[in-house]
Amino acid sequence: MRELRLESAPRNPLAFIADDDYLSMYLGRMFPRRLMNVWSNFLWLSGVVRGSESAYSADDPMRILTRDPNTCIKVLAIMGYDTDWLALQSITKPEIVLPREEAVECFSRFIRCFWEHEEIRASEIYDVVRQHRAHEDFTDSKSTVRIDFHRQYYHTRAKIKTVNIADAWEDAEYIPDTDHDIDNIVLSDWIERFFATLGNDKDVEICKLLYIGCTQQQIADSLGYKNHSGVNKRIAHIKGKLSAYIGYNYSQ
């Protein structure tokens, strides 16, 4: 709700649209954009797509799919949250709020429905996208997924500028390893609350470095681990914490 700027809004949709001020907000252009921001961030938390959403451009098929209002409505309808469900809600009831445990389970089912349901087929779409990546899929940030794509595209893992002989007449873009700045990362309140449950500053730093696309070896070098094995163990621990926090098994 904070992302939508609706902290004080009625939690009953019927009461929401009965208020002229909130109705005008709902009918404005920004409401669906903010709503899709929340929905997309929620889906990307599943971790199915490698890297963070910020590493991919607006042309990336998965960003388009996760921000598509019709797909969002489709998932909600499959889960039973449609206009018929809304029509059965009490007009006099001041709020429609699910208990925390039920809400967590509901969110987990939303994720599974999006990625696994045969009417959505998001996993199949992602498999096709992953096999046919293009330069336009990525932003200009030096993320790990973009670096790996360029190295695969130009058939090099070296720190020198090299090109495929078939493309020798074109310049290949060289993306060097750089220092990673995590001090200016802007995170949602939900993520900040999860970080508070970790109780370990290094685990928080690992999360932030993963968010900007660092490899486990880069994280190990940055935090002083002897090798990436220690980082791998911390990530497994963090995944367990995250699974318990939102009720979704990230080990599957």
Instruction: Report the SS3 class of residue 134.
Output: coil
pLDDT at position 247 is 62
Whether residue 31 has pLDDT greater than 70: yes
First to last CA, the chain: 29
What are the boundaries of each domain within the chain? 13-131, 142-178, 189-246
Most confident by average pLDDT, 37-41, 161-165, 210-214: 37-41
Mapped onto helix, strand or coil, the DSSP state of residue 12 is: coil
pLDDT at 158: 47
- CA gap 48, 220 in Å, rounded: 23
Q: Are 189 and 176 in contact (CB under 8 A)?
A: no
For 27-50, what is the mean pLDDT? Answer: 84
Cα 182 from Cα 172, distance rounded (Å): 28
**Measured CA distances, 76 to 23, 119, 123 (Å):** 21, 12, 18
Residue 97 confidence (pLDDT): 64
* pLDDT exceeds 60 at position 44: yes
Q: Pick from 228, 238, 171: which is nearest to 202 by CA?
A: 238
Task: Report which secondary-structure segment, H or E, holds 108.
Answer: helix 100-116
Confidence of residue 169 (pLDDT cuts 50, 70, 90): very low
Asked if 31 contacts 17 with a C-beta cutoff of 8 angstroms, the reply is no
Q: How confident is the model at residue 2, as a pLDDT?
A: 56
How many whole angstroms separate alpha carbon 68 and alpha carbon 62? Answer: 10
**Three-class DSSP category at 161:** coil
pLDDT number for residue 224:
87
